[in-house]
């Protein structure tokens, strides 16, 4: 099983606070961190918006939150997919021909594939990218 921190860290800057990690919630606008990750329980919870769950729930929320998630042109997804994901391909740097805009998120390829797996997506290689189907 993948550690919840590996799934969340590409999307949230986390700082250790005791046994937990805290950061700004990716699901709503905030200036004071209210998003907490408990690695011992493998859960997250935001006191600001109430989003809570495990790695699978985080993946589902990230994949379905609409305009906050960005899709790279090299990925093709099912017609009912409403977001986009930019996949980093080399050492934390994304490969894409347009700048990220406010609210877009970047995921490493392994993180995206793990999020897709946890969300019940089926990802297969395709010339020029991946094909994700739900």
| pLDDT tens readout for residues 1-13 | 678 998 899 889 9
What pLDDT was estimated at residue 122? Answer: 62
Cβ 68 vs Cβ 47: under 8 Å: no
Could you count the other beta carbons within 10 Å of the beta carbon of residue 133? 12
Model pTM above 0.85? no
Rounded to whole angstroms, how far apart are CA atoms 45 and 95?
31
The pLDDT of residue 63: 74
Domain boundaries, the chain: 4-54, 63-133
- In 3D space, the residue among 38, 35, 9 whose CA is nearest the CA of residue 22 turns out to be 35
pLDDT at 65: 65
pLDDT band at 59 (very low <50, low <70, confident <90, very high): confident
CA distance 6 to 14: 11
CATH number of 4-54: 3.90.580.10
Q: How confident is the model at residue 43 (pLDDT cuts 50, 70, 90)?
A: very high
Hey, how many other C-beta atoms are within 10 angstroms of the C-beta on 108?
18
């Amino acid at each position: 099983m993948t550690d919840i921190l590996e799934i969340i860290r590409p999307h949230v800057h986390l700082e250790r606070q005791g046994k937990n990690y805290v950061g700004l919630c990716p699901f709503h606008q905030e200036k004071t961190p209210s998003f907490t990750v408990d690695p011992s329980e493998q859960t997250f919870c935001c006191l600001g918006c109430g989003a809570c769950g495990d790695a699978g729930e985080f993946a589902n929320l990230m994949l379905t939150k609409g305009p906050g998630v960005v899709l790279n042109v090299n990925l093709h997804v099912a017609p009912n997919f409403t977001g986009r994901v930019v996949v980093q391909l080399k050492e934390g740097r994304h490969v894409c021909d347009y700048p990220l805009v406010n609210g877009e998120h970047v995921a490493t390829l392994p993180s995206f594939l793990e999020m897709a797996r946890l969300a019940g997506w089926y990802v297969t290689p395709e010339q020029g990218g991946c094909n994700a189907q739900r």
